[in-house]
Amino acid sequence: MFSSVSVVVIALAFVAIFTHRYLQNKPPAGFQHAPGPKGAFLIGNTLQLSDKPHRDFIRWAREYGEVYKVQIGWNNWFMLNSPEAVKDIMDRQSALTSSRNPMPVASDTLSGGMRFLFMPYGPEWRRLRGATHKLLTPKMSDTFQPSQDFEAKRLLMDFMDDNKDGSGFYMHVRRYTVSVIMTSTYGRRVPEWVSFELPSVFLFAHRFIGV
């Protein structure tokens, strides 16, 4: 049986966790008063979603307008239901909306805080974005076209040479996509499915996403 001290400690821990999550998930100024369906304590609108949630979002959009808020679990989600709302919030208010939610496992534990995809908006993100932008300009992208054309032709040949039962289709597409990325990024092709890089790439991806 728990002692009274244990009960108090558990209660305080729960309050601390809830307060931290609430403050972390608190909408920025200008978004706090967005309309939306009323939800339950802690879990918000989670149990109000049907097995076809897109229909629920459409129904709420008709009721609450171009911008509304729902709470799914701990997190607040803001639904934008018109091109004008998207431009106004994602473009004109990008200082508030261009960042990402904290991802302590994916970003910090698995990526050491250095994976551009999971970084929150800040100086390091801006530095990497600048470097990435230089590599993805139209002029720079044109330099990748010959290798991409070659890989596309190779993919078509793979389809023609291995089309007995369709079992190789998926593997050929995977080889093609990874080879395009590897050539553009590291200057190194992935010529065959059995190449060392390919199974390693997908093994890492499976471990990373947990499937």
Question: Do residues 17 and 84 share a domain?
Answer: yes
Q: Are 71 and 39 contacting, i.e. CB atoms less than 8 angstroms apart?
A: yes
pLDDT score, position 28: 54
Residue with tokens 């369906």: 37
Q: Are residues 74 and 15 in the same domain?
A: yes
Q: Which residues of the chain have pLDDT under 50?
A: 1, 20, 22-23, 211
pLDDT of residue 25: 54
Residue 45 inside a domain? The answer is yes
Domain count of the fold of the chain = 2
pLDDT the model gives residue 163: 64
Residue 26 lies in a domain: yes
Q: Which domain holds residue 179?
A: 138-209
Q: Would residue 18 count as lying in a domain?
A: yes
Predicted local confidence at residue 211, as pLDDT: 46
pLDDT in tens, 75-111: 888 899 999 988 888 888 777 777 887 777 777 877 7
Per-residue confidence (pLDDT) for residue 141, from 0 to 100? 85
**Same domain as 145, residue 77:** no
Residue 43 is predicted with a pLDDT of: 85
pLDDT in tens, 113-135: 888 888 888 888 888 888 888 87
Distances (CA, A) of 17 to 40, 42, 72, 101: 18, 12, 17, 17
Secondary structure class of 44 (helix, strand, coil)? strand
